[in-house]
Structure 1
């Protein structure tokens, strides 16, 4: 991807096991994603849930490569996710929930992070 997109492109790679993560951090990427941390309804074909303890271990393996947690992250668990030391968290259903009020959902997430 780097050869095609060039040095300025932001490129990430998704991983689902610590072994995949170990390989990913050797690649010319800007960040690695790890998950799913919790079960999610966003995708029907997800990998097995990895949980917070494996996310902590992933943080150690990732070293200086930014680590993004993904999968089942909501306003009720985002603080515990970020407390593992990951650099950021990707959220989909936490924003685009059934209520459809993305603004209110974003405010709820921001309140949990304040």
Structure 2
């Protein structure tokens, strides 16, 4: 249970920090992506802040709500799939560096989903 709580806390902190950065510094991020559109970064930032609050809340549960943990894993997985599609099909007119950032974040989120799944399996085995 401790591993799952720790991974979820790391997920909450990294999601919150990323969301805060996107929401507060959208022009700087847009510059790295070589676009003038800032609203998508603000919107994603706000989503990530809400997601971070959800993950943090779930991570503090005692006992942890297994259904809520599964929801977080599903949301992380959807993020990875969506990011993979964006990178693979290059659906936005952004820089190569922008696509690298999207891919790197997707790898991190995939690691969070994997580790959360592993932690959930540990809970199931110990019960």
Task: Tell me the TM-score normalised to structure 1 length.
Answer: 0.27
Relative contact order: is structure 1 or structure 2 higher (C-alpha 8 Å, sep ≥ 6)? Answer: 2
Task: Tell me the TM-score normalised to structure 2 length.
Answer: 0.25
Instruction: Name which one, 1 or 2, has greater alpha-carbon Rg.
Output: 2
Higher helix share: 2
